[in-house]
Amino acid sequence: MNIEIRGAHRLSFREKQVVALKEMGASSADIAKRLNISPGSVATLYNRARNKGFETVIVIPGDALGLSDAEEDNIDDE
């Protein structure tokens, strides 16, 4: 699984870190520990990033979902 942050050029390095970890499901407490910052700073960084605007896209390869070309061929026939 890959995470793409669209609009990342508008975010600071720390904001990108917080956004990526949040989007991967980490709690604010876990992010704070990992980045050695306070939970309040995590909230501030995430809110600041949201105000700058970004879109997170999760890229999952089809084979990771159990999809193959054969199944796609069957979908086209329906």
Q: Where are the beta strands (DSSP E) in the chain?
A: 2-6, 55-59
pLDDT band for position 77 (cuts 50, 70, 90): low
- Give pTM, 2 decimals: 0.71
Return the CATH class of domain 2-77: mainly alpha
Q: Residue 37: which of 46, 54, 7 has the closest Cα?
A: 46
Gap between the Cα atoms of 7 and 13, Å rounded: 13
Phi, psi (degrees; rounded to nearest 5) at 9:
-60, -20
Residue 10 in this model has a pLDDT that exceeds 80 = yes
Q: Where exactly are the structural domains of the chain?
A: 2-77
